[in-house]
Amino acid sequence: MLNSSQMNRRLSTKDFVYFEIKKRIIECILAPDQPINEEYLATELNISRTPIREALQRLEIEELILRLPNGRLKVAPISIQEVEEIFHVRSLLEGLIAREATTKATSNDIQKLGQFTKLIVTAANNDRGDEVVYYGSEFHSYLYQISKNKTANKILNQLNDHISRYRRLGPIKNNERSRNAAKEHLEMFEAISHKNPDKAEKLMREHINNSLKAAVHTIEVHLQQNIDENN
């Protein structure tokens, strides 16, 4: 019984709810550790519990939500260990994607990647960190497409949802990191356009490992702030 716009668009209620709740978790509108109530969500979104439950189950499988031993749900907590694990896995898989994409890229693909690279570099030069993140994501997503590796692709998309949430915890502004990230993308682009899969893979792994350091720092600051606030 949604007021329309979703029903028509071949997007099932369940999927609409899934994306809606996921958005709220990633944007920390639903904060880490916050308990989740099926009935409450059903009332608020004006739909029955059935699609809510199915959406929540999906989020639970993807570990953005976790189920307590008593069956209650809560938003996944912040965990530095998890962040490190995610980045380690991501580093390897993005490296694989970079390698495969380098082999498969057409001249058109390379042109497209060049455009993204330019946008990233320009954004970094103008200290627009959020744009660096945005076009950076586009760059990576485009590599996923080129590689045609559905398995790695799917895993990476899930990991990226988690990373997006962690990004929200702290201030995005880090101009030094932005400029370094831009440089790294430029180097990766050159390796790809020169058809050097080994180098592309190596640079990509290093790139992800560098952003891990920034992410961990952000989260540590966040956790420290929360400790301070409670004292």
Partner DNA sequence: ATTTGTGTAATTGTATACAATTATAAGTGT
Partner DNA sequence: ACACTTATAATTGTATACAATTACACAAAT
Contact set with a second copy (CB under 8 A)? 50, 53-54, 57-58, 61-63, 82, 85-86, 88-89, 92-93, 95-96, 149-152, 154-155, 159
Minimum Å distance from CB 37 to DNA?
Answer: 5
Helical packing angle, 175-193 and 107-125, nearest 10° = 160
Quick check: 84 binds DNA (CB under 7 A)? Answer: no
Q: Which is nearer to a second copy, 55 or 124 (CB)?
A: 55
Structure tokens at 188: 């990766």
The least distance separating DNA from the CB of residue 230, rounded to whole angstroms, comes to 21
Q: Residue 49 interacts with DNA (CB under 7 A)? A: yes
3-state secondary structure 134-189: HHHHHHHHHHHHHHCCHHHHHHHHHHHHHHHHHHHHCCCCCHHHHHHHHHHHHHHH
Q: How far is the CB of 123 from a second copy (least distance, A)?
A: 30
Contact of residue 47 among DNA, a second copy, none (CB under 5-8 Å per partner type) = DNA
d(CA 100, CA 148): 8
218 is a site residue for DNA (CB under 7 A) = no
Cβ atoms within 10 Å of 139's Cβ, excluding its own? 19
Question: How many angstroms separate the CA atoms of 55 and 12, rounded?
Answer: 11
> Which amino acid, 131?
E
Nearer to DNA, 66 or 216 (CB): 66
224-230, long-range: CB < 8 A, 24+ apart: none
The yes or no reply on residue 72 touching DNA (CB under 7 A) is yes
| Partner in contact with 151, chosen from DNA, a second copy, none, beta carbon below 5 to 8 Å by kind | a second copy
Q: Which of 5, 70, 81, 151 binds DNA (CB under 7 A)?
A: 70
CB 73 within 8 A of CB 64: no
Near DNA by CB under 7 A: residue from 3, 9, 71, 229: 71
On the 0-12 / 13-18 / 19+ scale of CB atoms within 10 A, 82 is: middle
Helix (H, G, I), strand (E, B) or coil at 190: helix
Given a second copy, DNA, none, residue 38, with its beta carbon under 5 to 8 Å by kind, binds DNA
- Out of a second copy, DNA, none, which partner does residue 85 contact, by CB within 5 to 8 A per kind? a second copy
Least distance CB 39 / DNA (angstroms): 5
Residues that bind DNA (CB under 7 A): 1, 7, 12-14, 36-39, 47-51, 53-54, 67, 70-73
